[in-house]
Structure 1
Amino acid sequence: MLRLPHRRRGRRGRARGALLVLLVTVALADSATLAGAAVLHARHLERVSGTNAVTAPSVTSERRTGAFTATIDYASLFSAEGHQVSSKVAWDDDWFFQDPTSYNHELAHACAVLSAVANAESAYYQQGSTSPAYAEHAFAELGFEEVSTTSYRYRSEVVDEVLGLLDGTDVVAYTVATKHVRSSVTGEERLLTVVVVRGSYGSEWLSNAKIEDASDEAGSGDHLGFTLAAEEIVADLEARAAETDPGVGRAYLFCGHSRGAAVATLLASYADGAVGPSGTRADAIASADSVCAYGLATPNCTSATDARTARYDNIFNVLNPSDVVTMLPPAAWGYGRYGRDVWLPQTGDDALSDAMRASYEASMGVECPVRAEDRAQAEGLVKDVTAAVGSLEELFSPGGLLAFAQACVSADVPQLLASHYPNSYIAWLDAAVPEDLAIS
């Protein structure tokens, strides 16, 4: 199992923790908030005892093999009121016997939809919700035999978000689905494991600020918050691998959007030979016969100097050039991504952009909010940030956070994030063909 070295929980982490304790102490000063503290304590006890959480769903799936098309249903925060989103995806079991270093546009689209489903799954795990178990139904449509979303338990309620804020837990919610696939060419059989990591949810946003300093790299140089989340998934995969038939070949697909994309690409990097947080590779992933990763809206997540080498060519980061999240943490601070970047077209007033907007409106029921000028605004914000704060160390200096806040104060955040949300990516992948994309 991967173990996090003690050194990573350093001076800055303790300083932030002390500040958080102080703020919480002040917040608990009145009786109303003390009552809230009692609720949080009760929820903590429920977590420990495993009680009072929504039960994981049970969904029956039909065995589907080979190549087919499926309709995947899910919910999206910015769709029309009461509007359920549906996307058609292509699927082919043969993909997992092909060269994982060749970009697969249909697989990228399927991963974009599954990543949106991962966000929608959270609603099922909220008490009293009537939301369907979107992830289980999605994988049932794709013919998967087993689906697990148990990590969403105690990680989808508002009270759980508050607890995560207070205890600093870098939790992660994710779906693990398995299916036996067979090559139509050779007859070879493999056990396919798909891991879809949920994007930032509630207090998990704080994990995005736990950045490993590129200047004091002693190990992998990976983003600390994303690494902690990946560590939990690796432990789960190790346990699952120990229970499977070692004589059956294994294939892994990792995907996610935003924070989920960063974690997914780190998982794939471990399989490709990157040094994990324990200083070793992860056995469960390293034993795979085939590994690929498709991250959507992947932020910069590593300062590893070899992250762009051919070793990681099975990792694809699908990026919107107008998406500010893909520009953070800034490259000027020494950060980048594992694998290769697949650039979607630039939003403009051309026919391809019109097709993207039409796809967005058809699925979401509302007009696409993305604008042609979004890229210039996103790049301008990052330029202002790096001009005000020259490095990660400077960010955590006494005046660094103030300078950072001042650089961001005039940003139109809702508009900047329009190019970041999952359905903007899905619409672009619907409208574009591989020839419209640039891979670097």
Structure 2
Amino acid sequence: MRKKSFKSTAVLMAMVLGATSINAIPVKAEVTDSMTEEQLANLDTDKDGLEDYLEEYFATDKTLEDTDNDGLSDYMEIMKFKTEPLKMDTDGNGISDGEEDADRDGISNILEVSIGTNPFKADTDEDGLKDALEVNVYKTSPILCDSDGDGLLDGEEVELELSPLKRFTRNIEKDCKKLFSQVLKNKNIEESLCASDNLAIPSLWGNLPGLMERRIRIESSTVVLGDLEGNMVGKPIEIVSDYEDGFDMKLSFSCLKSTLKQVKGFQIAHYKDGEITYLNTTVLLKNVSAKITEGGTYFVLSTNGKTGSSATVLTAKAVKKAAKKAVKSVSSSAVLAKVLAVSSTDTDYDGVSDSADPKPNDNAFTGTVQNDGFSINSRVDYAMDYRAFFKTPSTFSSQLCKVSSVYANLAYGFNIADQASGRTFNLSSLMSYQGMSDVKCYNLKSGYSDYDLVQFYIGHRTVTYSGTTKDIVAVSIRGTGGGIAEWSSNFDIGTTAKFSSYSDWTDSANHKGFDVAATRLQKYINNYVSSYCSGSNTKAYWVVGHSRGAAVANILAAKLVDAGKTTYSYTFATPNTTTKSASAAGRYTSIFNIVNKDDFVPCLPCTAWGFRRYGKTSTESIADKYENEWEDLTGIYDYNPDTYGMNDTIAELGKVLSTRNKAYTYTCKCHGDGSKNDITITNYGTSEKSREEAIAKIPANALPYCKITRHKGTAFWGWDFDCCQTPSYFMQILAALMSNEISKYRFVVELDIADHYEDAKTALIGSAIGGLEHPHYTESYFILAKHAAASNFS
């Protein structure tokens, strides 16, 4: 049994003087007993960024910015480098921590701190040159991506053999105007367009300034071309370019998979503003090409040898004109039916009738998400195309992935401003705008009084495509709300010993809190479908969510598949959800999970406890690939992950228990089998009042998972209590911290943790302050959804 070891005589003096906080901290003369938790939490005597109470916890000197004098502040060592702030040379290799090179870019840690570069990024300004090359070789700025201000990145100029320090490297022509012949790299072309099943694989040559790979990408187009699609070869493409129009480019399509021996009748066409222009196309064997001077929508048509010049496709103006014509051309008894038929047409399958759609042939949606919780306004784009639900659910859809991430984001209550219509939508109104009926928002707390709750949105749309009619049932599940209930459920993994005690826990292999919520949600869905979608049409269920919403969606989708439902599920920041085997969990091939490698949340519950998730998962790092894009999207500089600490934190959490059932087991001598007598701690008190006040600081959600033994004392001593803590006690304390039920100060100082959890607690303190927030943002997951490809999933 561990007893609380006080860190200074000031604590003993505080006890003698009758301090009411059992875990009192050493105090300076200016600190008074009347100070609040918030005031104590904000004290930072040496102004090193590490508050005094954290310095007490880590035993550093709160009057010195750099306790061990290695050149790195205590804050940087604990929260960023994860080095020992009391040792100059943590790893004992003869090099001080300040002289080490954490990111291996050729510049020491202490020099990076002094010149303002990021010691955890080899290329701080992301201009294509490592910091050391900028400082030691090219003499460019490692914190400015364009040192000479000519519009080209320093790395671009080096690759193009220009000077990154001169705007005019060779002559009077400015570097950013000089043209270079180059071919777009495959990494800039959407994976599905290069797949073997695409009958027209695109490539692009250009005579362009700068590196075209920095300014051009090719994506699947969202345009819908009606009857022309029967003659289309392969998939239409969208050339997204940051260049101004007018530069010479050559667009080519390789049609090697064409069943025709030759492709003389193939022609490249350009769609713009409702009109199609047929380009002067060169044919060479099974390759077709045409000169272009702008980005936009392009595709290949089989014209059967007939060369076209131009054509007009449906526009919103044309729809309104057709409606007026219908009124004039038919008898009054047929007017309404004719007008309704014209006005309800949805050419591009985005759920918006052509008569109300500014671009009836283009199902793209561009808007600005107003994330008030973080004061972020992020411009996003996606395609709402209901034809995706007529494809095999196990086939990854990049467009469905993007819209799913936006729907999961908006489930938190955020709004999105539509660029085309000028309207602002919440999720309910957006679902209605995009063609869904009977849109509802349900919160399980209206029907249940425990912690296993969730809020979700549901709507449906009947769609006919290629002779098949389906009812699309959309379900978007909100992530964890601000209260203690859902956070407690997140950390309640469940013991199979009590499986039968919960009527809504229907699969003992699953995380208890997530499974109960999913079971309840499934009941709501069944009732909804019976009420609003009771016809004989085939049902397709579309299930999305972020964070806790992703975990519930992950299990719900598996339950729907088990029930024989056609299910399309895309989840983001998905925690682990089940202890089933990899083969059993992996057979749910229509569930696609997107995970940010930098994000702490998807690592829980720990794989060391036997947990994984259903379906297939794509894991990529924002820090490794998309940091600049993240900063542009969010307007935040800079992206802040816990680069070196997160894996250590997960490892320490993994040691807290060996299997899920151990989370609820006492191993002390007084209440368990005595196998691990390191889960008990004795807390000292100076009076009965001080003891009870200290016990009262334990949050209510954690109390069921500990055993408290009170001791009777004398005038000034002995009013102690023993607290035996199961691993679930520690996890529920974390739930209280994450939900702001308790402060960080209380977690660190006032709620003492038994030895068994001390290392995990220490790691969590470092990670929480070192950077867990940004990687979990919904904006991070929109970026990952945007770049996700079928080959990423395993």
Output the TM-score relative to the length of structure 2.
Answer: 0.39
Match of 1:92 among 377, 381, 385: 385
- The residue that corresponds to 1:419 in the other structure is 775
Structure 1 counterpart of 2:241: none
Q: Does 1:208 align with 2:503?
A: no
Counterpart amino acid of 1:213?
A: T
The CA deviation at 1:346 is: 5.9
**Residue of structure 1 in register with 2:402 after alignment:** 109
> 1:176: Cα distance to partner?
0.3
**Cα shift readout 1:115-156 (whole Å, capped 9, x = no counterpart):** 11001259xxxxxxxxx761123324433233212438969x
User: Secondary structure, in 3 states, of the residue corresponding to 1:175?
Assistant: strand
Give the Cα–Cα distance (whole angstroms) in 2 for the partners of residues 180 and 66 of structure 1.
20
Distance 1:376 1:325 in 2: 16
1:224 counterpart residue number = 512
Q: Distance in 2 between matches of 1:433 and 1:265?
A: 18
Q: Secondary structure of the equivalent of 1:235? A: helix
CA contact (8 A) 1:66 1:94 kept: no
**Deviations 1:85-139 (CA, angstroms, capped at 9, x unpaired):** 34211121111010111122221121111111001259xxxxxxxxx76112332
2:477 aligned partner = 197
Q: Cα deviations across residues 369-400 of structure 1 (Å, max 9, x unaligned)?
A: 234xx354221101111234333344333443
Residue 369 of structure 1: aligned partner: 639
Within 2, Cα distance between the matches of 1:346 and 1:102?
24
> Residue type of the partner of 1:383?
A
Query: Would the aligned equivalents of 1:320 and 1:344 in 2 still touch at CA under 8 Å?
Result: yes
> What does 1:238-387 align with in structure 2 at a 5 Å threshold?
238-243=526-531, 244-273=533-562, 281=563, 286=564, 288=565, 290-305=566-581, 308=584, 311-345=587-621, 347-348=623-624, 353=625, 356-371=626-641, 374-387=642-655
CA contact (8 A) 2:495 2:663 kept: no
Q: Deviations over 1:50-108 (max 9, x none)?
A: xxxxxxxxxxx84378861113443325644xx54342111211110101111222211
- The gaps in structure 2 that reach 5 residues or longer are 1-350, 355-359, 416-423, 501-506, 667-723, 731-752
Corresponding residue for residue 395 of structure 1 = 663
1:147 maps to 2:439: yes
Taking the aligned partners of 2:567 and 2:545, their CA distance within structure 1 comes to 15
Deviation per residue, 1:10-52 (Å, 9 max, x gap): xxxxxxxxxxxxxxxxxxxxxxxxxxxxxxxxxxxxxxxxxxx
Q: Provide Cα deviations, 1:295-349, integer angstroms capped at 9, x if missing partner.
A: 101101111236645530111111111111111111111111111111224623x
CA change 1:404–1:172 in 2 (3 A) is same
* Alpha carbons of structure 1 residues 66 and 300: separation in structure 2 relative to 1, 3 Å: farther
- For residues 63 and 154 of structure 1, do their structure 2 counterparts lie closer, same or farther at Cα, with a shift above 3 Å needed? farther
Aligned length: 335
Letter in 2 for 1:143: G
Query: Does the CA contact (< 8 Å) of 1:211 and 1:224 recur in 2?
Result: yes
* Alignment CA distance shift 1:424-1:309 (3 Å): closer
| Partner Cα separation in structure 1 for residue 508 and residue 397 of structure 2 | 28
Q: Deviations over 1:275-295 (max 9, x none)?
A: xxxxxx4xxxx4x3x211111
Q: Structure 2 CA distance, aligned partners of 1:313 and 1:105?
A: 15
- AA at the equivalent of 1:110: V
- Is it true that 1:237 corresponds to 2:525 in the alignment? yes
More helix by share: 1
Measure, in 2, the Cα distance between the counterparts of 1:407 and 1:146.
Answer: 47
- Hey, what does 2:200 align to over in structure 1? none
Asked if structure 2 preserves the Cα contact closer than 8 Å seen for 1:70 and 1:142, the reply is no
Contact 1:73/1:87 (8 A) holds in 2 = yes
Q: CA deviation at 1:226?
A: 0.9
Contact 1:268/1:291 (8 A) holds in 2: yes
1:93 and 1:213 map into 2 onto residues whose CA distance is 41
- Aligned AA (1:297): A
Deviation sequence 1:137-188 (CA, Å, 0-9, x none): 3324433233212438969xxxxxxxx9xx53322100102112222xx221
Q: Which secondary structure state, in structure 1, belongs to the residue aligned with residue 639 of structure 2?
A: coil
> CA shift at 1:406, angstroms?
4.2
Query: In the alignment, which residue of structure 2 is the partner of 1:178?
Result: 460
1:408 matched to 2:761? The reply is yes
SS of equivalent to 1:222: coil
CA distance change for structure 1 residues 120 and 266 in 2, over 3 Å: closer, same or farther? same
Deviation of 1:419 (Å):
1.1
Deviations 1:173-216 (A, max 9, x none): 00102112222xx2211110110000011221111011123688
Deviations along 1:228-273, whole A, 9 cap, x unmatched?
2112211111112222233111110101001101111111111222
Q: Given the alignment of the two structures, is residue 438 of structure 1 paired with residue 767 of structure 2, yes or no?
A: no
Distance 1:293 1:105, change over 3 A: same
1:135 aligns with 2:427: yes
Measured in 2, the distance between the counterparts of 1:232 and 1:217 equals 16
SS in 2 for 1:149: strand
Counterpart in 1 of 2:693?
Answer: none
Higher mean C-alpha deviation, range 333-342 or range 84-93: 84-93
The 3-state SS of whatever aligns with 2:613 is coil
Asked if 2 retains the 8 angstrom alpha-carbon contact of 1:182 and 1:190, the reply is yes
2:459 partner SS: strand
Q: Paired residue for 1:169?
A: 451
Provide the rounded CA distance (Å) in 2 between the counterparts of 1:193 and 1:307: 28
Once residues 119 and 258 of structure 1 are traced to their aligned partners in structure 2, the CA distance between those partners, rounded to angstroms, is 11
- Inter-partner Cα distance in structure 1 for 2:499 and 2:611: 12
Kindly indicate whether the alpha-carbon contact (under 8 Å) linking 2:571 and 2:594 is maintained by their aligned counterparts in 1.
yes
Letter matched to residue 255 of structure 1: V
Counterpart of 1:170, as a letter, is D
Letter in 1 for 2:400: L
**Change beyond 3 A, Cα 1:121–1:418:** closer
For residues 309 and 265 of structure 1, what CA distance do their matches in structure 2 show? 10
Cα offsets for 1:393-439 (capped at 9, x unmatched): 44333443343364133333151232122111112333x2527x622
Q: Following the alignment from structure 1 to structure 2, what is the Cα–Cα distance between the partners of residues 404 and 421? A: 28
8 A Cα contact 2:443 2:454, kept in partner: yes
Distance 1:245 1:148 in 2: 17
Bigger strand fraction: 2
Unaligned runs of 5+ in 1: 1-60, 123-131, 156-163, 274-280
Amino acid paired to 2:609: W
The 8 Å contact of residues 63 and 144 in structure 1, kept in 2 or not, is answered as no
Go from structure 1 to structure 2 and tell me whether the alpha carbon gap of 1:133 and 1:142 turns closer, same or farther (over 3 Å shift).
Answer: closer
Q: 1:87 to 1:294 in 2, by over 3 A?
A: same
